[in-house]
Chains A and B, each alone.
Chain A
Amino acid sequence: MFLNHFEYFAPKAPEETLELVGRLGSKAKILAGGTDLMVVMKAKAISPEYLIDINGVEEFKGIFCEEGKGAVIGTNTKLAEIQFSEAIKAKYPALAYAAGEVGSSQVRHMASLGGNTCNASPAAETPTPLVAMGAKVAVSSLSGDRELPLEEFILGVRKLDLAEGEMLTKFILPEPAQKSACRYAYMGRRDAMEIDCVNMAVNIELANDSETVMEVKLVMGSVYPRPLVSREVPALLIGQKLSDELIEKAAEAAQGEAKPIDDIRASAEYRREIVKVLARRLLKEAYAAAKGV
Chain B
Amino acid sequence: MDKKASKSKWNLTPEGWNLEGVPAYQDEKRYTQVGRSVPRVDGPIKVKGEAIYTGDMTLPGMVYGKIKRSTYAHAIIKKIDYSKALELPGVLTVITGEEAPNKWGIVPQAANETALAVGKVRFYGEGVAAVAALDEETAEAALELIDVEYEPLPVLLDPFESMERAKEVLIHEDSPGNILHEGEQVYGDVDKAFAECEYVLEREFHTNYPQHGFLEPHSALASYDPQNGHLHLWASTQVPHYLHRQMSIVLEIPMNKIRVTLPAIGGGFGGKGEAAASEFVACLLSRKVGRPVKVTYERNEVFFTNKGRHPCHMKVKMGLDKDGYIQAIDFDNTMDKGAYSGWGIVVLFYTASMLHLPYKVPNARFRGRSVYTNKPSTGAMRGLGGVQPRWAMECLLDELAEMMGISPYELKMKNAIESGHTCINNMFVPHTEYKKCLQTAVEKSGYLEKHGKLSFGKGIGMAGGYYITGTAYTLYQNYKPHTSVMIRVDTEAGVTLFCAAADIGQGSNTVMAQMVAEEMGIHFEDVNVQAGDTEIGAFDLGSFASRLTYAAGAAIKMACVEINQKIKETAAGMLGCRADQLIIKNREIYSMYESKKRLPWEKAVEAYTSINGSLVSLGNFSPPRRKGIDLITGNRVQGANIGHSPTFGFSAQVHEVEVDVETGRIYVKKVTEAGDCGTPVNPMSVEGQVEGSIMFNLGACLYEDQKLDAEGKHLNPNFHDYKTPTTMEMPEMDTNIVESYDPTAPFGVKETGEGAVQPTFPAITNAIYDAIGVRFYNLPITPEMVLKALKEKKTTSCDCKCSKEC
A residues whose Cβ falls under 8 Å from a Cβ of B: 1-2, 187, 189-193, 195, 264-267, 269-270, 273-274, 277
Contacts and interface: CB of A to CB of B under 8 A. Distances in A.
B726 A191 contact: yes
B720 A195 contact: yes
A193 to B, nearest CB: 6
B784 interface: yes
Contact of B726 (A1, A192, A195, A270): A192
Interface centre among B140, B721, B784 (most CB of A within 10 A): B784
Nearest to A281: B662
Contacts of A265: 721
6 contacts: A190-B723, A195-B720, A264-B707, A270-B783, A270-B787, A273-B663
B60 to A, nearest CB: 24
Given A264-B716, A270-B787, A274-B663, A189 B140 contact: no
B151 interface: no
A187 B784 CA distance: 12
B763 to A, nearest CB: 20
A190 B787 contact: no
Interface string B709-721: 0000001100111
A266 B703 CA distance: 12
A178 B339 CA distance: 64
B729 A191 contact: yes
Interface in B26-79: none
A192 B727 contact: yes
Contacts of B663: 187, 273-274, 277
B715 A264 contact: yes
A269 to B, nearest CB: 8
Q: Helix, strand, loop or mixed for chain B's interface? A: loop
Interface in B122-148: 136-137, 140
Contacts of A270: 664, 783-784, 787
B703 A189 contact: yes
Contact of A191 (B140, B720, B721, B728): B728
B725 interface: yes
A190 B136 contact: no
A148 to B, nearest CB: 32
Contact of B720 (A193, A266, A267, A277): A193
B721 A267 contact: no
Interface string B101-115: 000000000000000
A2 B140 contact: yes
- Interface size bracket, B side: 20 to 34
Contacts of B726: 190-193
B298 A190 contact: no
Contacts of A266: 784
Contacts of B784: 266-267, 269-270
Contacts of B728: 190-192
A193 B707 CA distance: 19
A5 to B, nearest CB: 10
B614 interface: no
Interface in B694-737: 703, 707, 715-716, 719-721, 723, 725-729
Nearest to B791: A273
Given A2-B140, A270-B787, 8 more contacts: A1-B140, A191-B726, A192-B726, A192-B729, A193-B719, A195-B721, A266-B784, A270-B783
B298 A277 contact: no
B665 interface: yes
A115 B727 CA distance: 26
B439 interface: no
A134 B101 CA distance: 65
Contacts of B622: none
B782 interface: yes
Contact of A273 (B298, B716, B719, B787): B787
A193 B137 CA distance: 29
B639 to A, nearest CB: 40
Contacts of B729: 190-192
Nearest to A278: B663
Interface in B716-764: 716, 719-721, 723, 725-729
A116 to B, nearest CB: 16
B298 A1 contact: yes
Nearest to A2: B137
Interface in B367-393: none
A192 B720 CA distance: 10
B727 A2 contact: no
A117 B755 CA distance: 47
A193 B664 CA distance: 19
A193 B716 CA distance: 15
A189 B723 contact: yes
A256 B787 CA distance: 18
A189 B782 contact: yes
Contacts of B715: 264
A193 B720 CA distance: 7
Nearest to B667: A191
A117 B588 CA distance: 70
Contacts of B716: 264
A165 to B, nearest CB: 33
B707 A277 contact: no
A125 B664 CA distance: 21
A192 B726 CA distance: 7
Interface centre among B703, B716, B719, B723 (most CB of A within 10 A): B723
A191 B669 CA distance: 13
Nearest to B720: A195
A190 B707 contact: no
Nearest to B780: A189
Contacts of B721: 195, 264-265
Please list the 5 inter-chain residue pairs (A to B) with the smallest Cβ-Cβ separation, ordered nearest first: A191-B728, A192-B728, A192-B726, A277-B662, A270-B784
Interface centre among A2, A190, A195, A264 (most CB of B within 10 A): A190
